[in-house]
Amino acid sequence: MARILITSAIPYINGIKHLGNLVGSQLPADLYARYCRARGHEVMFICATDEHGTPAELAAAKVGKPVEAYCAEMHEVQKEIAAGFRLSFDHFGRSSSARNHRLTQHFAGALADNGLIEEVSEKQVFSITDNRFLPDRYIEGTCPNCGYTRARGDQCEECTKQLDPTDLINPRSAISGSTDLEVRQTKHLYLRQRALRGKLEAWIDSKTDWPILTTSIAKKWLNDGDGLQDRGITRDLHWGVPVKRGEADWPGMEGKVFYVWFDAPIEYIAATAEWADAHGLPDAAWQRWWRTDLGADDVRYVQFMGKDNVPFHTLSFPATIMGSGEPWKLVDYIKSFNYLNYDGGQFSTSQGRGVFMDQALSILPADYWRWWLLSHAPESSDSEFTWENFQASVNKDLADVLGNLVSRVTKFARAKFGETVPAGGSFGPREQALIDDLTSGLRAYEACMQAMEVRKAAAELRALWVAGNEYLQNAAPWTVVKTDPEHAQAMVRLALNLIRVYAVISQPFIPDAAASMMAAMGSDDWAWPDDLAASLAALPPGHAFSVPEVLFAKITDESRADWQQRFSGIRA
């Protein structure tokens, strides 16, 4: 069996994320992790909260809390919501951890030792009122190109023109609104990414199996315009990893911190070390996942992320790893996603438009959301959440197909044969045809899951559920029992075993429903059905089962209309 390292892009700390964020990284990563575990592979699934930078400071100030306390609180909130969606992380870490501080400083030192860090003097905008340098995005003013009055210092959102803060007309602080700004000289560290261009290009070119979305974005950033640029990795901020060269102070960098996009990906490694610490394990336990000289040479490393994160994970983070000159594991496969839009527009964290993760769990169980999001994952293009589509998918796929099968089989079996698997009869041609169809369908499902083709995998899984329903409809054991009760018993025995098989193969998508199905079948045998015929005999005659509660309640038109109205406005 393989060893598989899985990381999801780490969510930022400032607030609860919406469903678009969930389906863009964490949820499909969880799907793949669950599937790999089900197939017997050794899996390390890592995520964390991304806690540094100006947005965290501002979010904390907005609620009147010290930034450290705010981040600690929001980490627990995000951790609890992730658990609510049944995201099966082996560890959910924090980029503010001591481990990440040390590792970030270590990488900076290694890069400097290899001549890949350059000190650059530059001019930046300083707010007298705020007593701080302002990152480009926290300077607002009038766009010189289109006249939009709320253009940011890095880009005008109205006309999309790239800007420098000094381009803005009537610039002001986005923090305080103050216009008491001045340009001051400051010094920062830059990662010399251009010096690594050849290595990065060769590495990207070698990844011939990557999704087109991932490769196209990586090559665009590598080649378009001015091509790969050296990148600043420090900031004049208060909250972050202090700039050090390994364990030593860095002269001239006092009071500065590393840029959040330098330290955040390093948290993947640090969070794995945090996992080892939490379990009282030695460093070798996490190093075997990350150091190719200590066992990670046989690890397959897969990353999941939205398309906006691809440039950092195909260029900047690999540059850090390569530039260190040390034997760290580079990613093998990057599964990237387009955007999920919301009901005719866009999800908006700032405007509160759309369904946020905590709100979703407050109105429906996790499996409802997991199924819709994964079966409509924005892989080849952007996709759109609409309440009508959500209602139809839940009602048809989950309630009418899977839930109905489980209910019909268990209730009929109990009514006619009691609450144990019936012993009579043997399979006929119709049953054998079902087994053959399910076997070929299962192989197709496995191929999609292995290839991380999420929507196709959902379609193949649904087809497996439909095949069971069609068998029952055509075989009609409720009619056969009147004329050939022995054969009806064989049909029911097959159907009860099919419920257990459905639980096993559906678990990566809908873990709570799968657990309910397995419990109803009185089983804890989660073995993957490599031999489907054998798996469909796993529950022997006389084995006790029960009738579960309704797996999926249908969404009414009234509920749909209510939710559509409730989540269309500004969130308080």
If asked whether residues 479 and 529 sit together in one domain, one would say: yes
Nearest CA to 299 among 43, 32, 31? 43
Q: What is the mean pLDDT of the chain?
A: 94
Domain boundary among 337, 370, 402: 337
Mean pLDDT of 6-32: 95
- Look at residue 191 in the predicted model and tell me its pLDDT: 97
Is 25 part of any domain?
Answer: yes
Of all residues in the chain, the percent with pLDDT exceeding 70 is: 98
If asked whether residues 97 and 135 sit together in one domain, one would say: no
Give the confidence band of 570 by pLDDT, cuts at 50, 70, 90.
Answer: low
Q: What is the pLDDT of residues 256-305, one digit of tens each?
A: 999 999 999 999 999 999 999 999 999 999 999 999 999 999 999 999 99
Kindly report the CATH number assigned to the domain that includes residue 268: 3.40.50.620
Is 127 part of any domain?
Answer: yes
If asked whether residues 442 and 311 sit together in one domain, one would say: no
Is 521 part of any domain?
Answer: yes
If asked whether residues 523 and 390 sit together in one domain, one would say: yes
Domain boundary among 303, 337, 371: 337
Kindly report the CATH number assigned to the domain that includes residue 136: 2.170.220.10
Is 56 part of any domain?
Answer: yes
156 is in an annotated binding site: yes
**Domain boundaries, position 125:** 117-191
47 is in an annotated binding site: no
Q: Is the pLDDT of residue 226 over 80?
A: no
Cβ partners under 8 Å of residue 240, min gap 6: 52, 53, 257, 258, 259, 260, 263
If asked whether residues 282 and 390 sit together in one domain, one would say: no
Is 12 part of any domain?
Answer: yes
Query: In angstroms, what CA-CA distances link 527 with 347, 503, 510?
Result: 39, 11, 17
Locate 267 and state its tokens.
């948290």
159 is in an annotated binding site: yes
- Look at residue 15 in the predicted model and tell me its pLDDT: 87
- Look at residue 572 in the predicted model and tell me its pLDDT: 43
CA dist., res. 335 & res. 28, Å (int)? 9
If asked whether residues 95 and 172 sit together in one domain, one would say: no
Which residue did the predictor score with more confidence, 156 or 317? 317
Q: Are strands 299-306 and 3-8 parallel, antiparallel or unpaired?
A: parallel
The structural domain count of the chain equals 3
If asked whether residues 436 and 290 sit together in one domain, one would say: no
Domain boundary among 305, 337, 369: 337
Judge contact between 468 and 405, C-beta under 8 A.
Answer: yes
If asked whether residues 282 and 294 sit together in one domain, one would say: yes
Q: What is the pLDDT of residues 406-424, one digit of tens each?
A: 999 999 999 999 999 999 9
- Look at residue 349 in the predicted model and tell me its pLDDT: 66
Amino acid at 333: Y
Mean pLDDT of 242-263: 95
Is 242 part of any domain?
Answer: no
Is 321 part of any domain?
Answer: yes
Is 542 part of any domain?
Answer: no
448 is in an annotated binding site: no
Which residue did the predictor score with more confidence, 136 or 189? 189
Q: What is the pLDDT of residues 486-545, one digit of tens each?
A: 999 999 999 999 999 999 999 999 999 999 999 999 999 999 999 999 999 999 999 999
If asked whether residues 411 and 437 sit together in one domain, one would say: yes
36 is in an annotated binding site: no
If asked whether residues 63 and 12 sit together in one domain, one would say: yes
Of all residues in the chain, the percent with pLDDT exceeding 90 is: 86
Give the confidence band of 571 by pLDDT, cuts at 50, 70, 90.
Answer: very low
If asked whether residues 423 and 495 sit together in one domain, one would say: yes
Radius of gyration of the chain (CA): 27
CA dist., res. 15 & res. 492, Å (int)? 50
- Look at residue 31 in the predicted model and tell me its pLDDT: 98
CA dist., res. 386 & res. 342, Å (int)? 7
What is the enclosing helix (H) or strand (E) of 293?
A: none
The three-state DSSP-derived secondary structure of 220-240 is HHHHCCCCCCCEECEECCCCC
- Look at residue 178 in the predicted model and tell me its pLDDT: 95
If asked whether residues 333 and 409 sit together in one domain, one would say: no
Amino acid at 496: L
Mean pLDDT of 206-217: 95
- Look at residue 300 in the predicted model and tell me its pLDDT: 98
Q: What is the DSSP letter of 90?
A: S
Q: What is the pLDDT of residues 317-355, one digit of tens each?
A: 999 999 999 999 999 999 999 999 998 888 876 666 799
